[in-house]
Amino acid sequence: MEFCPECGTLLLPKNGKLQCRCGYSKKIGNQEKEKYGLEEKPKESREIPVIEEEIQQMPTVRVECRKCGNMVAYYWMLQTRSADEPATKFYRCTRCKHTWREYD
């Protein structure tokens, strides 16, 4: 990391130089290019496998979805009203993702 000698801001690599917002710029030598990871040729791109689009880690409960009839839903609770009132329970269907709430 290098800082601007004029204003003290962090210098950022851009277009083969280290540049500052105040307008100061410094040329980057070969050693600095290696140091900051600024190679002329980009490295090979890697494919990142996506295992599952959405991994749910919420608990499930047996309750009927009014939209599709599925009998399993995720649930969570939030205190949406004053502290002396019971928490609101939210449900989300595991099949169609329909979300609804239940007040106790």
Residues with catalytic roles: 84-85
Q: What is the average pLDDT value for the chain, to the nearest integer? A: 82
Q: Which CATH architecture has domain 60-103?
A: Single Sheet (2.20)
Q: In this model, does residue 99 exceed pLDDT 70?
A: yes
Backbone dihedral region of 97: left (phi > 0), alpha (psi from -120 to 50 degrees) or beta? left
Quote the percentage of the chain above a pLDDT of 70: 84
pLDDT digits (tens, 9 = 90+) for 42-93: 667 777 776 665 556 789 999 999 999 999 999 999 888 888 888 899 999 9
- 2 falls in which pLDDT band (50, 70, 90)? confident
Domain ranges of the chain: 1-40, 60-103
